[in-house]
Amino acid sequence: MLPVAVYGEGLDSAAVAVNAKDIANILRSGTGHNTIFKLAIPGYEPATVIIKDYQVDPVRGRLLHADLMRLSMTTATRVSVNIEFSGEPVGVKLEGGILEIELREVEIECLPGDIPEKIRVDVSDLKLGKHVNVADLVYDREKIKMLTPSDQIVAGVLAPRMVEEPAPAAEAEAAEAPAGEPEVIKKGKTEEGA
């Protein structure tokens, strides 16, 4: 069993225990932590809830705790939605660039029934030095309000960084220099007044 805190919608908070496998299955589903489901709590009406937060044991990888937030299907709520990237950028394929992903999720506000499973971004048209901003994302702007700043970069194609190697002429001079006798460096006290 998993300890869970349920709160929201102006009702009292409740601490309950639920089947850990059920919550784990919801987190692994296509909609993940944005899955809306019903929860029956003794002493309360069945509530429509969403997973607001959860903790996982870093060593064993099992769930330790979850926070569930009650939802009204007629009131907008804030959630984080994952960004899914598709395509191979032109700047990577033909120009030798590197795709750098800056943002993996965005925060939105919408009605619970309008929460998208994920926001998809096609990066195949990105050339070297170009990027995609939050403002460039494709989503239903009538139903979803984007809370992440529109000028924030989502992904871009960067030129690879060059590692400076010594010039071949300098290597050749070092190889041709005659090996002299080793220099002896005195150690210890210096002779004074001898």
What residues does each domain of the chain span? 2-71, 78-158
Fold of 78-158: RNA Polymerase Alpha Subunit; Chain A, domain 2 (2.170.120)
- According to the model, what pLDDT value does residue 120 have? 92
Query: For residue 153, which of 173, 171, 137, 170 has the smallest C-alpha distance?
Result: 137
Model pLDDT for residues 15-64, shown as the tens digit of each residue? 888 888 888 888 888 777 888 888 887 777 888 888 888 898 889 888 88
Average pLDDT along the chain: 83
pTM (2 d.p.): 0.66
Note the pLDDT tens digit of each residue in 95-116: 888 899 999 999 999 998 888 8
Structural contact between residues 59 and 89, judged by C-beta atoms closer than 8 angstroms: no
Q: Do 2-71 and 78-158 agree at the fold level?
A: no
Q: Is CATH 2.40.240.10 the right assignment for the domain spanning 2-71?
A: yes
DSSP secondary structure string, 131-175? EEEGGG--S-TTT-EE-S-TTSEEEEEEPPPPPP---HHHHHHHH
